[in-house]
Amino acid sequence: MRPARVIAGLGLVTAAVLALTAAAVGGRAFAVAAVVAIVPLPLYIGVVLWLDRFEPEPRHMLAIAFFWGASVAIVVSAAVNGIIDVVAGPGWTAMAGAPIVEEALKAAILVRFYVARKDEFDGVVDGVIYAAMVGLGFAFAENVAYYGSALQQGGPAGLALIFTLRGLVAPFSHPLFTSLTGMGLGVARQSGSRAMVIAAPAAGFAGAVALHALWNAGASAGLFFFVVYGVVMLPALAVLLAIVAVSLKFEGRVIQAQLAPEVATGLLPGDEYARLCSVRGRLHASTAAFRHGGIAAWRERHAFHRAASELAFLRRRSLIDGTAPDPELEAAYLAQLGADAAGSRGLRLPDARKPE
């Protein structure tokens, strides 16, 4: 099925979810809640995408991840959690049912990407980015419902309190939980070990469920929430960001190793090669391209960076899978790399080999 149709379908389900929320809380409360939930959303998404420095993921896959979280994951988890409520009670739902059900449903699209789109799921950073987008979609749909209910029941003061907790203090909760699953799948993708292919995703999912359950326990225990937030959630977020930073350095080394032949053949000059292997070097080069050539030069530079990354990770995947790179795809990337490298020689770019 075409990505546009998938996105349209998920978008319609998301619209239905929001319509049900509007019916439950009332049109006025829903309108205010939707605005409050939407306004900070570009900032949240921007932070996530900023982490994806070397090989930005396809926009349609990011959109599918977001809308999956806001639609299918929300609808099915609400139905299953409702059944658990009736059978076992709200306490079991919050502490066991919801964490398992919600994390499993959010993980489903990650597993789909991992299996069906291996060319766009190369490692830990990719797993975290996709997982964060799923979590943001899920949190968005939840936030509209929570904000609308808070406004309906507690007025502006109730809305302000819930927004402070969910929108300012902890907007990263669902992205953080699901990122553990994404990280596990990313480790599995990078590893050549069959045992790790099973163990890493399982450990990541177990961590996501445990962290989610602990969060729910804190949220229902008054002031204990702030203990959980300060002692568990913030350190967990810091560790995740540190892992992403280390993974970005690893990706830089992958690019360095896989593009070395192009330096030897003269396709890539040494200073250009150094810039491609560094987040800072790429950022400085993009900034210089924009400063000297405007948006058109910036776009060309971005395409050059992307071609270099795609070529490097194509070769890396082949090494892991024990297969030869697709010759046509490799030739296309090499052609683009050579053309863009030649075109950028007229720009005055910073020398990435000089210390700053």
Q: Which of 107, 83, 103, 105 is nearest to 93 (CA)?
A: 83
pLDDT above 80 for 341:
no
**Backbone phi, then psi, for 353, in 5-degree steps?**
-85, -10
What is the C-alpha to C-alpha distance for residues 38 and 32, in angstroms, rounded to an integer?
10
- Opening angle at CA 1, ends 318 and 18, nearest 5: 115
- List, for residues 230-255, the tens digit of each pLDDT value: 999 999 999 999 999 999 999 999 99
Hunting for tokens 């799923």 — which residue is that? 134
What is the average per-residue pLDDT within 29-56?
A: 94
- Average the pLDDT over 325-342 and give the result: 85
The burial class, CB within 10 Å (0-12 / 13-18 / 19+), for 264 is exposed
Nearest Cα to Cα of residue 48 among 190, 141, 143, 172: 172
The average pLDDT across 26-35 equals: 96
Q: How far apart are CA 118 and CA 311, in angstroms?
A: 14
DSSP conformation letters of 233-261? IHHHHHHHHHHHHHHHHHHHHHHHHHTHH
Overall average pLDDT of the 140-155 stretch = 96
Of 84, 71, 86, 92, the C-alpha closest to 213 is: 92
pLDDT band per the 50, 70, 90 thresholds, residue 159: very high
Tokens (6 digits) for 164: 């402070």
pLDDT for the residue numbered 258: 95
> Which of 92-96, 175-179, 275-279 bottoms out in mean pLDDT, i.e. has the lowest?
92-96
Span 114-124, mean pLDDT?
A: 91
Residue percentage of the chain with pLDDT more than 90: 74
pLDDT one-digit tens code per residue, 162-196? 999 999 999 999 999 999 999 999 999 988 788 99
212 band by pLDDT with thresholds 50, 70 and 90: very high
Query: Which residue, 297, 278, 273, is CA-closest to 286?
Result: 297
* Residue 342 pLDDT level (bands cut at 50, 70, 90): low
- What global pTM score does this model have? 0.91
Please state the length of the chain: 356
